[in-house]
Structure 1
Amino acid sequence: MRALISAGRMVAGPGGRVITDGAVLYDGRVITAAGPRGEVEAQAGPEDPRLDFPDGTLLPGLIDSHVHLALDAGPDPVAVLRAAPDAELYAGMAGRARQLLATGVTTARDLGDRGGLAVRLRDDIAAGRVPGPRLLSAGTPLTVPGGHCWFLGGEVEGADAIREAVRRNAARGVDLIKVMATGGGITKGGPPIWQAQFTPQELSLIVEEARSAGLPVAAHAHGTEGIAAAVAAGVDTIEHCTWMGREGFDVREDLVDAMAARGITVCPAASPDWRGFAERFGRERAEEMFGRLRWMAERGVHLLPGTDAGVPHAVFDGFVSSLEFFEHIGLTPAEIVDLATTGAARALGIDGDTGRLAAGLRADLLVVDGDPLTDLAALRAVRLVVSGGRIATGLPGGS
């Protein structure tokens, strides 16, 4: 499909650069022109469909960097997953992908599935068989026997098993490797959240195998020991990074400085229910944790927005609520929009393909009412979503 989309404001990015009365022309999946409406319209044909939003804002599609499509965000998503046959689980994943798309998310990084279902869904979306955002799939995450998310099928023990698991995921066509460097909250009977699951040598082996396959590595790490091992191994992103120790928080400034120096990005995976989390966790302790993220950013660590969608309370249509967490820790709306578009694309290594409105990039577009650069709530007023040149069903111009 070829179409011209115009709006009263256009955020071309990066840095919140605004073009008044801007437009994008795309042909198939690729943007062919972007800029002031007069210049772009001159390149469109008289028969090209036009959608105009004079009171709206046109910006790049949003990027949710941490979701779990295999989980349903209910009170016990693990039990639901374990009881579901693959066909039922896949149908649920497809429905949750549609929810993401409807909120303006045009790229999502899935960080843990069962049996390669997210890879299959990724390919079905890319082929137009299923609506949804572009997916970056980690496949089955590596964990220790009985470790965090063991029920997804990624248990490994010893160097040979680690190599085999990484190679198996790579052969399935994953976009990255995920490793559970520490325990986690949703695995009943598993290691505590602060406890490391792999030695530094084992994590280094995972990174080495992933690199040989040309794949980045995301490390789930709440505990400081696991964070230290992940930094030493040279992972690309650290998920959560809550600095948990046996007796409480255990923050190491040297590791923060190493992350900044090595370009390791931190995805706090702030749930859409982060306010409720603060109440359950204890407001004082939660604010200490939240403030630490702001401090890390001030020391040069790049942050990455993600919802952890799928775990309890983390719904698939709450990305804007997760973005408001960054406003809570001191970022401006303009900085947050940048974080969820150009910044996320850069951190995930896809900035040559998406995250901006420019000729040659994917036609990943979002139109909202109002101005999200001054008020993030505008991102909830979705008027149009285009993902890879396809207009989302149920929105203006959809099919």
Structure 2
Amino acid sequence: MPRQQLYTADQVLPGPTGERIPDGAVLVQNGTILLVGPRADVEAHASPTAEHRDFPGATILPGLINCHVHLVFDACGDPAQAAAQATHTELAGRADQLLRSGVTTVRDLGDRDGLAIQFRNQNPQGLRIVASGPPVTVPEGHCWFLGGAADGEAELRARVRQNAELGADVIKVMASGGQITPNSPKMWDTQFTTAELAAIVDEAHNAGLPVATHAHGTDAIAAATDAGVTTIEHCTWLREGGGGYDLRDDVAAKIAARGIFACVAWPSDWRGFMDRLGSARADQVVSRSAWMADHGIRMIPGTDAGAGTSGFDDYAGALELYEHLGFDRADIIEMATTTSAEALGVGNTTGQLAPGLSADLLVTAGDPLTDLANLRALQLVVARGQSIAMAVE
């Protein structure tokens, strides 16, 4: 019989919000959670030969999920060059950084010719990767250099099928322009019609795949919503021409009613970004997020890691953005675990500590419900039952 691992701590937060087990324990065998509960109950079911690791004063919680990363980018400002030169060794280094920051699952939303998919297939242990392959875009459009450009419905459907054949878990489409591709449509420009986006969604659904849609402009957000996408990335609500925000109540209500998730994908250094925006624009960002929450739009966290200067470490710093926006700490942790797992379609595998789910868990010194900074004080990271080298505080 494979050896069991018994983890005990002052408390276990199994997820979702409100569930807390004082003096709790998690029993793991062969990468799967066998039992979660009060220490005495779990210890009574553990094998006499179980490896027991006790963490006084600590908290055990599910591994975190970063819903928006790019493993082929290097956070050094030239994504096209980084993607062209990316190797499996570099992806492995970035995956290790993510794990050491407490992230046990990521959604990779744009690689070069399926490189992240290949890396995922060759590394069945450690970091769980939900990957899209090359994002679907227009010729010379946003991130065209990743190899996903297509023109017209027939080519768009063919591109979706190609990504599915590569082994994609999700289809990524660039509904608007972006910031990192020179001489391409602006962030607020719409790259596809609603009909074209609907064709992409239809072809993806034929392959059993969800659709994640990059959309900064409000017109692109509206088109993606009408097309029936699964998640909207960035969801910036930029007015056509870039003159501020265009917050449309009817579109927001539709996003909420259709259960579409929003991932704003801000980096860990969001404070520096807000400083560069200036106080007036920063206040608008805060009010925009509150407006989305008031409309019932479900939000999931991500960092766009690799793009721009967004790194692969300090996920706790990225989550502190949501506390700044007014979210409760317990809700933030649920967003980064249970809710994100649901949004990514892996809720039957991870996102909570429950029997039968993957052994993806963290041990933090202190209580993250008291201070999110405790998510940086990691004493242990376990991904799919595999202990990761101790993270540095």
TM-score between both structures, scaled by the size of structure 1: 0.95
Letter in 2 for 1:272: S
State the Cα distance separating 1:280 from its structure 2 match. 1.9
Query: Secondary structure at 1:346's aligned position in 2?
Result: helix
State the Cα distance separating 1:192 from its structure 2 match. 0.4
State the Cα distance separating 1:327 from its structure 2 match. 0.3
Unaligned runs of 5+ in 1: none
Larger deviation: 283-292 or 162-171? Answer: 283-292
Find out whether 1:112 has 2:114 as its counterpart. Answer: no
Take 2:237 and 2:227, find their aligned partners in 1: how far apart are those partners? 17
- The aligned counterpart of 2:272 is 276
- The aligned counterpart of 1:383 is 379
State the Cα distance separating 1:318 from its structure 2 match. 2.2
Take 2:197 and 2:260, find their aligned partners in 1: how far apart are those partners? 15
Query: Secondary structure at 1:174's aligned position in 2?
Result: coil
- The aligned counterpart of 2:300 is 304
State the Cα distance separating 1:287 from its structure 2 match. 2.1
2:253 to 243, 253, 257: 257
Find out whether 1:141 has 2:129 as its counterpart. Answer: no
| 1:361-383 deviation digits (Å, cap 9, x = unpaired) | 11101001010011100000011
Take 1:81 and 1:109, find their aligned partners in 2: how far apart are those partners? 17
| 1:332-379 deviation digits (Å, cap 9, x = unpaired) | 111111111111112222212111111011110100101001110000
Find out whether 1:373 has 2:375 as its counterpart. Answer: no
- The aligned counterpart of 1:235 is 229
Find out whether 1:316 has 2:318 as its counterpart. Answer: no
Letter in 2 for 1:123: N
State the Cα distance separating 1:308 from its structure 2 match. 0.7
Query: Secondary structure at 2:123's aligned position in 1?
Result: helix
1:96 to 69, 94, 103: 94
State the Cα distance separating 1:175 from its structure 2 match. 0.5
- The aligned counterpart of 2:178 is 184
1:355 to 329, 336, 351: 351
- The aligned counterpart of 2:79 is 77
Letter in 2 for 1:64: N
State the Cα distance separating 1:96 from its structure 2 match. 0.4
Find out whether 1:165 has 2:159 as its counterpart. Answer: yes
Contact 1:334–1:374 at 8 Å: present in 2 too? no
Identical pairs, percent: 51
State the Cα distance separating 1:394 from its structure 2 match. 4.2
Structure 1 segments of 4+ aligned residues over 3 angstroms from their partners: none
State the Cα distance separating 1:243 from its structure 2 match. 0.7
Take 1:395 and 1:258, find their aligned partners in 2: how far apart are those partners? 42
TM-score between both structures, scaled by the size of structure 2: 0.96
Contact 2:4–2:46 at 8 Å: present in 1 too? no
Contact 1:227–1:241 at 8 Å: present in 2 too? yes
RMSD: 1.3
State the Cα distance separating 1:76 from its structure 2 match. 2.4
Take 1:279 and 1:199, find their aligned partners in 2: how far apart are those partners? 35
1:212 to 202, 206, 209: 206
Letter in 1 for 2:225: V
Take 1:305 and 1:58, find their aligned partners in 2: how far apart are those partners? 20
State the Cα distance separating 1:321 from its structure 2 match. 1.1
